[in-house]
Structure 1
Amino acid sequence: MVSFTARAPKLCGIVTALPQAVSENADLAASFGAETMAKIIAATGIERRPVADRHTVSQLGVAAADVLLEKLNWARETIGLLIVVTQTPDYPLPSTACVMQNALGLSKETAAFDLGLGCSGYVYGLSVANAMMQSGGIFRALLVTGDITTHMISDSNRSLAPLFGDGVAVTALELSEDGSIAFDLGSDGSGAPYLISKTGGLAEPGAAELFMDGTQVMAFSLKQVAPSIERALTAAGRAIGDIDHVILHQANAMMIRTLGHKIKARDDQMVYAVRDFGNTSSASIPLAICDHLNRMRPQPDMSFLLCGFGVGWSWATAVWHTEAPACHDIIRVP
């Protein structure tokens, strides 16, 4: 594990783009039975999920970025860095970041690249973007996170079909001289077989198909998440009670609730955003930020505890005090 502190970036805004089409979990009763679906909905807290038809990560990302840049009144030539965190890229090559750089009309001096991470990807991406900004020469950055996961899941898969949604979030970051951010990052590749798409790559060509061992995922989460959060809090010099908003990867309500109790967070600190969106991979944390801030009174600044965990195994926690973002919108893309 790696724990460290750094000067914090300013969180200027987030826009999350979701497909307009929505799949109601109650409608899956026709395939899996009404009683079964009622139990799944009660346990997971997931009632509906955005589902992509022909959308790609870059299409949703460009739609979100266009809105974000307009709302912030940022000139496109001022963007020095574009990072795309995804496990469902538009193409095997080139990188989705290069596709987006061109589609957005960003400068050719913009550094653009992809990171191949899932559930932990938002915090990992935040750590990489911040490190590059702090090293000098980059004032503004866009962090793009999300996946089109439903294309990897058969409609007949009772275990996974009710859980996952599609979406892409774009976060605008600006170099700041104020505040600090603490990170804890870790990985354990021995968990790879338990949350994987074995097909779709060079090892096993073919259509990508997601497999998840839910028991192993829960065991991993209970083992690694709380210690990671404790290390990040220690690095930040904070206690859990000092945090305004605790936003964990939005896997399902039962897991979030269980982990919240384990880290001794208060109910009013915990953020839930699974009911209408499901598990949206690396978009889940910024989507939860948008959904939560849209429901609360405006605040001048706030402290976040962000923790992503899952496929890899991989986990990442950040303790971040920042000004409230100027925009935190959720848009639907036809």
Structure 2
Amino acid sequence: MPDIAPALHSRLTGINLRGLVAAVPAQTEDADVLTEKWGYDNAHKVAAATGIQTRHLAPAGMTACDLGQAAAAKLLEGLQWTADSVDLLVVVTQTPDYPLPGNAPLLQHRLGLRHGCGTLDVTSGCSGFVDGLWVTASLLASSNGRRALLVVGDTTSQFVPPQDHNTRPLFGDAVCAIALERGSEDETFLGVVPGVDGSGAPYLTVRDGAARHPVADACFGHLFMDGPQVFAFTLRQVPKNIAAAMQLAGWKNEDVDYLLLHQANETMMRHLATKSGFSDQQMVLALGDFGNTSSASIPLAIASALAGPAVEARAPLNLLMSGFGVGWRWASAVWRTEPLQYCQVLLVDPVAAQP
């Protein structure tokens, strides 16, 4: 195991996951639909390489705030939390409804949260769930607040040109709402180990005209991704980061109930799991039905694994989570939490998404 002492890390006790709702657009697109546009080979080669078969895409007019509102409202209803019992709202997205204000004050108003509620907007992508979890849990632990909503996710498809054979089959849209509650349970804890290497930022980027970079010029104005660079970065940095998080928890591999990796590429995920010594049974794969959903991918995987009867299948839960990608940022978290009280995947149609 590596020595984590030089790296920034955090370990917080008594922060529990109470519930989770993942909201995805009802509209889908799969490899068979793309076959009609591009032909079989072009449509299916990416699916075969990544394991992504179907994605949920937000139609015109459906925003990240719409999906976040649907997820959070359903979560509050399912947990029977009143709006005025929420002390903190943190929103993580790369696709806010407006350049300003951020989505946090918009959601505060739409959900009817009290004026004394703390709100914060965070810009983060592939590592965004772990980043947001760390921020939210830290704010709860350092304040007199008890309950928090973390809302994470994007409508990434807005950045992908319809004719782009390489990236269109990869990205789906989703926003997840996660309920956290501070308790007195010292046996529950959250540990986070982050990392960053901004020199790799140009290899996964969206350029809006404010600046140019030679690597991104070929797809100026749209999402650009250098797949081999992403793959190499992930295998180089993430196993070390996962090992550091495991050391922070004091866990052995067999202590982990669920390994939840950023859902970007099945081949890459299997490489990471094998390199880190985890079994196929521990790793959750949800990208086949949803694609790469950016910061929503890990909580969407949790919802896929634990929704319905599985909500109370294990108590407590040992979750190992790792997000990695855009910015060349990575963050792994170890979370021993009480079992979820409510968990669901919610399909949102355009009518239901209207504020």
Work out whether the TM-score is over 0.5.
yes
Matches within 5 A, 1:126-275: 126-178=133-185, 179-199=188-208, 202-203=210-211, 208-275=221-288
Cα pair 2:308 2:344 within 8 Å, conserved: no
User: What is the SS of the residue equivalent to 1:304?
Assistant: strand
Q: Distance in 2 between matches of 1:296 and 1:208?
A: 44
Q: Distance in 2 between matches of 1:175 and 1:8?
A: 6
1:6 matched to 2:6? The reply is: no
Matches within 5 A, 1:1-334: 1-53=7-59, 54-178=61-185, 179-199=188-208, 202-203=210-211, 208-294=221-307, 297=310, 298-334=313-349
Please, what TM-score do these two structures have when normalized by structure 2? 0.90
Deviation at residue 317 of structure 1 after TM alignment: 0.5
Q: Distance in 1 between matches of 2:14 and 2:206?
A: 35
Deviation at residue 177 of structure 1 after TM alignment: 2.1
Cα pair 1:14 1:172 within 8 Å, conserved: yes
Please, what TM-score do these two structures have when normalized by structure 1? 0.96
> What amino acid sits opposite 2:169 in the alignment?
P
Q: Distance in 2 between matches of 1:276 and 1:18?
A: 11
Deviation at residue 231 of structure 1 after TM alignment: 0.4
Deviation at residue 261 of structure 1 after TM alignment: 0.8
- Change in CA separation of 1:160 and 1:279 when aligned onto 2, cut-off 3 Å: same
> What amino acid sits opposite 1:253 in the alignment?
E
> What amino acid sits opposite 1:188 in the alignment?
D
Q: Distance in 2 between matches of 1:208 and 1:110?
A: 37
Q: Which runs of 4+ in 1 moved over 3 A?
A: none
Deviation at residue 171 of structure 1 after TM alignment: 0.1
Q: Distance in 1 between matches of 2:307 and 2:89?
A: 26
User: What is the SS of the residue equivalent to 1:40?
Assistant: helix
> What amino acid sits opposite 1:213 in the alignment?
D
> What amino acid sits opposite 1:324 in the alignment?
P
Cα pair 2:153 2:293 within 8 Å, conserved: yes
Cα pair 1:8 1:320 within 8 Å, conserved: no
> What amino acid sits opposite 2:28 in the alignment?
V
Deviation at residue 113 of structure 1 after TM alignment: 1.6
Q: Distance in 1 between matches of 2:132 and 2:14?
A: 14
- Change in CA separation of 1:208 and 1:78 when aligned onto 2, cut-off 3 Å: farther
User: What is the SS of the residue equivalent to 1:266?
Assistant: coil
Deviates more, 1:320-329 or 1:21-30: 21-30
User: What is the SS of the residue equivalent to 1:315?
Assistant: strand
Q: Distance in 2 between matches of 1:326 and 1:296?
A: 11
Cα pair 2:21 2:72 within 8 Å, conserved: yes
Q: Distance in 2 between matches of 1:208 and 1:176?
A: 46
> What amino acid sits opposite 1:174 in the alignment?
E
Q: Distance in 2 between matches of 1:247 and 1:114?
A: 24
Cα pair 1:31 1:156 within 8 Å, conserved: no
- Change in CA separation of 1:271 and 1:109 when aligned onto 2, cut-off 3 Å: same
Q: Distance in 1 between matches of 2:221 and 2:77?
A: 36
Cα pair 2:87 2:146 within 8 Å, conserved: yes
**Percent of aligned pairs with the same amino acid:** 44
What runs of 5+ residues in structure 1 fail to find an aligned partner?
none
Q: Distance in 1 between matches of 2:111 and 2:273?
A: 39
Q: Provide the aligned C-alpha RMSD in A.
A: 1.4
